[in-house]
Amino acid sequence: MSSDFFTNKTILKILDHYQSAWALSHLLSLSAWDSEVYMPEKGTKYRGIAQAKTQTLIQNIVLDSNFQELIKKADDENLNIYEESIIRLLKRETKFYKSLPAKFLEEFEHTTSRALLSWRKAKEQDNFDLFSDDLSKIILLSRQKADYLGYESHKYNALLDQYEEGSSVEELDVYFEDVVKFIEELLKKIVNSDNYKSSHPLSNTEYPIELAKTLNLNILKILKYDPGKISLDISSHPFSEGLSTDDSRITTRYEGFDIARTITSTIHEYGHALYFLQHQEAFNTTPLYTGYSLGLHESQSRFFENHIGRSKEFINKLSPLLHKLSRDYEKFDANEFYKYFNLVTPSLIRVESDEVTYHGHIYIRYSIEKKLINGEIEAKDVPEVWNKHYEEVLGVTPKTNQEGCLQDIHWSMGAIGYFPTYSQGTVFAAAINERIAEDIGNMSDLIHEGKIDVIQKWLFQNIHQYGATYIFEELSKKLTGEKFVTEPWKRYLSNKYSDIYNIID
Ligand code: MG
């Protein structure tokens, strides 16, 4: 599979061998997508077993002694940046599979497929006890996982590093202190402004679901999506799955009211999907397609969701489409829709939260995970600790666990250490916005003129094409000349919300 990107003979042998592992992980992704979208509820048990066995097959392929010899050999050879990254990613995969015994991985897989069911039931019935034992087991397994993987100073570091290479408690403690302090100050100014309203009538306005489905497709058209490469389905937790540069799946959900929710999640997932589609085609069957940074991925989804989807110019375009939903929507003009889509109010549910308070939700989850993995608290303590943190950070207290600690699917999937990437990706999206302004013009003008394809091309050239070639930190440096900083994000939020709420400093 020689290409402009890979020429080293040892690398070519490696990529040839890796194709079997890729094929299995491609099908695992498809199976994960199916589990969320189409699989009947009772299919979970055997799907879990099949996924665990497939995982073991991948492990065997990666740990194969001939393959490992080739990785060692290539590591000493003269490689280009893409080839070097392939070795970096394969060494990471090797470390993962070498450290974690097959038996442990199977146990993890079984536990999480059972937990997915118990979490769903617990959430539906608002009964934390139904999930408590499985969560406890997941925490135990996660601590064990950290021990197997190895870490410096904090057990939690081993888990953070899985989702974001190099991420650590040391770095994130400093990051969140900065971010939370900023949003607390901004929130105070917003809430104290004369224009402040804590709710908007559109948040409770109903819509016909069939019309909303058409609306979402029309929004994807404005975003210049390729219907031959992207499908839009429904799932209880919106997500996206990239299968190749020709096949990206996105899902959304329809609550039947508060139309902004389904719209913003569709646009969000589109951002992920486009990233997957715009990798170099030669990367498809290589670790450069699958080994991505979650923070970078999230920067793409949040860039589309916030910097395009929640912009004045985009909402101007959306306004006539919203009017078609029902008479209730005809009463509002573009300016009102803009206020509605950018309503800031401390709330309980992360996925429905605004751009300002969003980071408070992530910080809370981060703090609780850190304590759970340290052993400072146990699974059974989660509801109480959760509610206390919400009161302290956002000034709101959940009345039920359904709208509290049971809201998100991640823990049931064993994804601990994942959440900080949401915040960091969101913050990085603002740096991208500033770079685009320097290179090709103001985002507002580009959106107003319908030049979404120009924005997409910039994203391809500067970010998407590289796949997993660079880690977050490196790409940030390449793009902005400095390591990841929060200033562009602070400028963006200050400007935008000073304007909306008429805040004068
Ligand atoms: Mg996302």
Span 114-166, pLDDT tens digits: 898 899 999 999 999 999 999 999 999 999 999 999 999 999 999 999 999 99
Tokens of 469: 């070639």
Distance (Å, whole) CA 334 – CA 317:
8
Q: Residue 2: pLDDT above 60?
A: no
pLDDT at 45: 83
180 neighbors 363 (Cβ within 8 angstroms): yes
Closest CA to 158 of 449, 280, 167: 167
| DSSP letter assigned to residue 350 | G
Q: How far is the CA of 427 from the centre of ligand 1 (A)?
A: 13
- pLDDT value at residue 452: 98
User: Does the annotation count 305 as an active-site position?
Assistant: no
- pLDDT confidence bin for 102, thresholds 50/70/90: confident
- DSSP-derived letter for residue 257 is B
For 406-427, give the DSSP string. Answer: TS-SGGGGT--S-THHHHHHHH
Question: In the predicted model, what is the mean pLDDT of residues 286-302?
Answer: 95
pLDDT digits 0-9 by tens, 484-495: 889 999 999 999
Per-residue pLDDT tens digits for 395-407: 999 999 999 999 9
- Of these residues, 36, 269, 305, 313, which one is catalytic? 269
Ligand 1 center to 425 CA (angstroms): 9
Residue 138: per-residue pLDDT: 98
* Residue 196 backbone phi and psi in degrees, to 5: -70, 130
Asked if residue 481 has pLDDT above 80, the reply is yes
User: pTM of the predicted model, to two decimals?
Assistant: 0.95
For the cut 80, the answer to whether the pLDDT of residue 505 exceeds it is: no
Report CA(298)–ligand 1 centroid distance (Å). 5
C-alpha 6 – ligand 1 centre gap (Å): 30
Distance in Å, CA 68 to ligand 1 centroid: 33
Residue matched to tokens 């997915």: 116
Residue 327 one-letter amino acid: R
What tens digit of pLDDT does each residue of 65-87 get? 999 999 999 999 999 999 999 99
**Per-residue confidence (pLDDT) for residue 466, from 0 to 100:** 97
Quickly tell me which residue has 């016909």 as its tokens.
208
Distance CA 431, CA 487 (A): 8
Dump pLDDT digits (tens) for 243-261: 999 999 999 999 999 999 9
Question: Quick one: CA dihedral 472, 478, 484, 488, positive or negative?
Answer: negative
* Per-residue pLDDT at 393: 94
The whole-number average pLDDT for the span 357-362 is: 97
Cα(12) to centroid of ligand 1, in Å? 33
Judging by beta carbons within 10 Å of its beta carbon (0-12, 13-18, 19+), is residue 6 exposed, middle or buried? Answer: buried
Gap between the Cα atoms of 76 and 139, Å rounded: 39
- Identify the residue whose tokens are 């740990």: 63
- With a CB cutoff of 8 Å and minimum separation 6, the contacts of 181 are none
